[in-house]
Amino acid sequence: MENYIDQYKEYLLKEKKFSLHTVQAYSRDVELFWDFLSSKEVVLSQVEYLHVREWIVTLSSDGITNTTINRKAASLKSYFRFLYITQTIASYPLEGHKPLRAEKELQVPFSEQEMLKVERNEFKNDFYGLQNFVIISLFYSSGIRKSELIELELHKIDLVNQEIRVLGKRNKERIVPLINEIAEMLRGFIAERAGQFGAASCDKLFLSKKGKKINQTFVYRLINDYFRRVTSKGKRSPHVLRHTFATHMLNAGANLNTIKEILGHSSLSSTQIYTHTSLTALKKTYAQAHPRFRDDDKD
């Protein structure tokens, strides 16, 4: 049965400019939907919203969270919209679909005290120990995404002007400033890298022991494994480091628009999520500091 998933993948890659990781996630959701329909012997032209609703009910019964179900439904909407605009199907079956109500998960950033525990001597005293330290430091100092760090190339690092050019979502390039400490750290790391791999190596900044670019699994494990030692927080990931960068910048008085530009958000609403965390910290400080409500003033 033809379901045009390969054509859909090509559309996401070439027309929508999605990353390979995103394309794989979208297509995987679509394939799961077709797996669900396989027992019903439904062909593409027969798909109705009723089938989508049945799938959603099944996912919910299996204990899948509303947030995850909404993400899968968004993949389906994108897929069927592609089929509709290319006139592969005559009607769009998700026209009236509304997302399920889902609680927004509040990302808890690492504290400044936890980040101060990130020291060079905590890592192995070799090139790869240095690289791991630089990766964590760059995440925290720049707020770049995991995919942006993996794809960062040597020629896009300008140590004279202390900035890097990163390729973000939709292949949009932006300039991210570097503080003095990180610029010097990168200068030393790049020299060590040249000694380790030579001038003819892969152009990506961070490399595996085989001289290839590092992958997403490696980066996630690095962050998760390291921060397990310094924090009791349950979620430890590159995205939490990005969140930490934005929250600490905001707490220190940085303008929300400035943070938006550095993070590469397309709209300010995406950046405003960090104000919630800052407000939480503000309330906690207020409760601890106000003389009327401090515990140590109570009889």
Question: Is 193 known to be catalytic?
Answer: no
What secondary structure letter does DSSP report for 137?
H
- By the 8 A CB rule, do 3 and 44 touch? yes
Which of the following is catalytic: 8, 72, 79, 145? Answer: 145
* Cα(77)–Cα(88) distance, integer angstroms: 15
The DSSP secondary structure of 232-295, one letter per residue, reads --S--SHHHHHHHHHHHHHHTT--HHHHHHHHT-SSHHHHTHHHHHHHHHHHHHHHHH-TTT-G
Which of the following is catalytic: 51, 77, 165, 169? Answer: 169
Burial class of 37 by CB neighbour count within 10 A (0 to 12, 13 to 18, 19+): buried
Question: Is 239 known to be catalytic?
Answer: yes
Distances (CA, A) of 137 to 120, 181, 219, 251: 10, 10, 13, 19
Cβ neighbours around 204 below 10 Å, total: 17
**Residue type present at position 284:** K
Name beta bridge partners: 176: 164
The residue among 20, 34, 19, 17 whose CA lies nearest residue 72 is: 34
Which of the following is catalytic: 242, 243, 248, 260? Answer: 242
Question: Is 4 known to be catalytic?
Answer: no
* Cα(203)–Cα(213) distance, integer angstroms: 8
Question: Is 243 known to be catalytic?
Answer: no
Residues forming the active site: 145, 169, 239, 242, 265, 274
